[in-house]
Amino acid sequence: DAGITQSPRHKVTETGTPVTLRCHQTENHRYMYWYRQDPGHGLRLIHYSYGVKDTDKGEVSDGYSVSRSKTEDFLLTLESATSSQTSVYFCAISPLPTGMDSNQPQHFGDGTRLSIL
């Protein structure tokens, strides 16, 4: 299995509180991704990173921010959590961008189940 650790694995918090999820990888991969998975929507990209301090938005980035100060860590922050952000969050990594002639797949961490009351 790809060396990806997500923390925490489960979290329950209240509306309006800040929340930070961590993704840690030991593969030294350049590309890291944050997804959320909801019933009826499948996996949707929130933000991704293509290097230290290099990040970009995905399809559902509103209400989320990210940071990547080291190759191995990619943090996802909910500045003021809302009930609509209750979801399962997955981190994924790849050594090169998927596509662009590299055809590199993404490998996923075990996920964080976040409940916002």
Partner 1 sequence: QKEVEQNSGPLSVPEGAIASLNCTYSDRVSQSFFWYRQYSGKSPELIMSIYSNGDKEDGRFTAQLNKASQYVSLLIRDSQPSDSATYLCAVNWDDRGSTLGRLYFGRGTQLTVWP
Residues lying near partner 1 in the complex (CB under 8 A) are found at 31, 33, 40-45, 48, 50, 58, 90, 94, 97-101, 103, 105-111
Minimum Å distance from CB 117 to partner 1?
21
Minimum Å distance from CB 104 to partner 1?
8
Q: Which residue lies nearer to partner 1 by CB, 4 or 116?
A: 4
Minimum Å distance from CB 75 to partner 1?
19
Whether residue 90 contacts residue 43, with contact meaning beta carbons closer than 8 Å, is answered with yes
- The neighbour count for residue 37, using CB atoms within 10 Å, is 14
CB < 8 Å & 24+ apart, contacts of 95-102: 95/27, 95/29, 95/30, 95/31, 96/30, 96/31, 97/31, 97/50, 98/31
Q: Which residue lies nearer to partner 1 by CB, 31 or 85?
A: 31
Q: Which residue lies nearer to partner 1 by CB, 65 or 108?
A: 108
